[in-house]
């Protein structure tokens, strides 16, 4: 592509050349354009006629043959700008929305899914034998960790598609049914641990237990998790986008993302004359947004007013950030606020420091935000890419991109790297990270073209 030829740093250009098409080249395991009707019996997977009609796209995460709602949305994001001019890309994205809708209808509490029945791709077993309520069908679901951001990413995929194409072709009966399922989850997970009138314990609708020696892989208290207060406006998330269990169930980045996507979806539905549903989504989005500001902002002895990572509504909070998206660092990218917001600026200083963030990992060869998913020695290149996209400082951006380049000697971006030895990494095939790299380079090409193409260069915009 001509962008690669213009880039001054040819090593960086080669990584972009590999990363940009990585999802298309390696993770689109099944796609149909909708011209063929599903063979008889496929609709029975969900017990409803109309299932799997239209374009469909099954996008695996990389080295695991399953689709995560969050990962697949992010894997496809750099192609959204091309959809209006490229019919094949448009159909691929529409298929991804339709497939995610089927997953959300089937098991709205789950995060990762098996291949669609019409694909005839063999399913796989995660080997865990989890105890989950509501129960799910293993032939449909790969893993069922309830994460609020998974549902927010389903909305985000649709919203991005509309923003770049102006098309509402995704608003089908099945998509609307998926949105209804999403709303039901939001309402169920907005309930407190104890009844606000009687004070009696109310068992969570979603409960998860796994036989494991890793605390982040299961929920305590018979799968309910720690207590959450009432009247916060926030929505519980049992797990984080890293697939690690939350400690305090009101996960602030996930709530912020859900608030934004609900309101964006409401705007689209209003234009599509779906007024009643639009009002429902807007009311919930505004309630969650208010809850984030009222309960998610706490006072830090050094950094002042900052966003907590998790809260419980009782006054307890977890101060940290994790590399996975959505994160506190990514709040401007989510559209929740501007990067010059005072509380965000304070939060950014906190989470990009050893003093303020226990998972800001530093070493002799690399540094950045990591998380409990991998451990104390590994930082995620993805966190540096998010840092670059939320920065306006030329020197900072250049330093971050150079660090990621040096940590990608194979020409692709890894999940995480050992900060003392970057050749020690996790996941050589992790499409999400490659997509975020591509998105970061495109962002810099548009905002700061001189950093890629040399002084005096014009902005480069695709689509």
Q: Under a CB-based contact definition with an 8 Å cutoff, are residues 361 and 377 in contact?
A: yes
Asked whether residue 273 falls in the same domain as residue 399, the answer is: no
Asked whether residue 186 falls in the same domain as residue 304, the answer is: yes
Asked whether residue 15 falls in the same domain as residue 130, the answer is: no
Encoded tokens for 154: 């389903």
Dihedral in degrees, nearest 10, Cα atoms 305, 292, 223, 103 = -140
Asked whether residue 161 falls in the same domain as residue 283, the answer is: yes
Q: What's the pTM?
A: 0.97
Asked whether residue 67 falls in the same domain as residue 78, the answer is: yes
Domain boundary among 326, 351, 376: 351
Low-confidence stretches of the chain (pLDDT beneath 70): 1, 37-47
Asked whether residue 75 falls in the same domain as residue 185, the answer is: yes
Asked whether residue 390 falls in the same domain as residue 294, the answer is: no
| Count of domains for the chain | 2
Q: Pick from 411, 243, 442: which is nearest to 324 by CA?
A: 243
Asked whether residue 244 falls in the same domain as residue 391, the answer is: no
- pLDDT confidence of residue 49: 78
Asked whether residue 162 falls in the same domain as residue 214, the answer is: yes
- pLDDT confidence of residue 2: 83
Asked whether residue 215 falls in the same domain as residue 256, the answer is: yes
List of E strands, 124-244: 131-133, 141-143, 207-209
Separation CA 33–CA 79 (nearest Å): 17
- pLDDT confidence of residue 94: 98
Asked whether residue 205 falls in the same domain as residue 317, the answer is: yes
Asked whether residue 375 falls in the same domain as residue 311, the answer is: no
Q: Pick from 344, 308, 317, 314: which is nearest to 329 by CA?
A: 344
Q: Under a CB-based contact definition with an 8 Å cutoff, are residues 90 and 167 in contact?
A: yes
Domain that holds residue 449: 1-26+359-463
Separation CA 255–CA 224 (nearest Å): 19
The model's pLDDT over 146-157, given as tens digits with 9 standing for 90+, comes to 999 999 999 999
Separation CA 369–CA 384 (nearest Å): 8
Q: In a 3-state reduction of DSSP, which class is residue 400?
A: helix
CATH of the domain at 169: 1.50.10.10
The model's pLDDT over 267-284, given as tens digits with 9 standing for 90+, comes to 999 999 999 999 999 999
Domain boundary among 351, 386, 403: 351
């Amino acid at each position: 592509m001509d962008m690669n030829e213009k880039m001054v740093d040819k090593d960086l250009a080669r990584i972009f050349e590999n990363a940009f098409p990585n999802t298309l080249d390696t993770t689109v395991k099944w796609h149909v354009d909708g011209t063929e009707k599903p063979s008889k019996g496929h609709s029975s997977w969900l017990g409803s006629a109309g299932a799997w009609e239209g374009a469909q796209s099954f996008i695996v995460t990389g080295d695991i043959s399953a689709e995560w709602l969050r990962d697949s949305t992010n894997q496809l994001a750099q192609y959204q700008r091309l959809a209006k001019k490229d019919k094949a890309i448009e159909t691929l994205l529409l298929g991804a929305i339709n497939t995610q809708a089927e997953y959300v209808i089937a098991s709205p509490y789950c995060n990762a899914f098996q291949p669609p029945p019409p694909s005839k791709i063999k399913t796989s077993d995660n080997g865990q034998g989890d105890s989950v309520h509501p129960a799910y069908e293993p032939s449909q679901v790969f893993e069922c960790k309830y994460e609020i951001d998974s549902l927010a990413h389903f909305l985000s995929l649709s919203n991005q598609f509309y923003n770049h194409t102006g098309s509402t072709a995704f608003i089908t009966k099945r998509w609307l049914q998926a949105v209804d399922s999403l709303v039901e989850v939001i309402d169920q997970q907005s309930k407190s641990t104890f009844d606000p009138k009687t004070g009696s314990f109310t068992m969570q609708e979603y409960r998860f237990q796994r036989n494991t020696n890793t605390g982040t892989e299961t929920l305590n208290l018979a799968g309910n998790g720690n207590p959450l207060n009432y009247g916060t406006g926030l929505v519980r998330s049992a797990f984080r986008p890293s697939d690690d269990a939350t400690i305090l169930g009101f996960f602030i980045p996930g709530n912020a993302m859900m608030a934004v996507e609900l309101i964006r979806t409401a705007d689209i539905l209003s234009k599509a004359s779906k007024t009643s549903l639009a009002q429902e989504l807007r009311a919930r989005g505004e309630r969650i947004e208010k809850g984030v500001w009222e309960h998610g902002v706490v006072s830090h002895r050094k950094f002042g007013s900052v966003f907590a990572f998790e809260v419980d509504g009782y006054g307890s909070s977890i101060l940290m950030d994790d590399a996975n998206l959505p994160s506190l660092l990514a709040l401007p990218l989510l559209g929740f606020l501007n990067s010059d917001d005072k509380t965000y600026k304070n939060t950014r200083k906190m989470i990009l420091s050893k003093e303020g963030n226990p998972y800001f990992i530093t070493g002799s060869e690399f540094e950045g935000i990591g998380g409990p998913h991998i451990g104390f020695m590994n930082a995620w290149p993805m966190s540096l890419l998010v840092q670059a996209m939320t920065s306006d400082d030329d020197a900072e951006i250049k330093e971050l991109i150079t660090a990621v380049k040096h940590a990608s000697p194979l020409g692709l971006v890894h999940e995480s790297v050992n900060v003392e030895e970057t050749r020690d990494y996790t996941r050589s095939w992790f499409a999400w990270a490659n997509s975020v790299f591509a998105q970061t380079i495109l962002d810099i090409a548009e905002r700061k073209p001189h950093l890629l193409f040399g002084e005096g260069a014009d902005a480069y915009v695709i689509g």
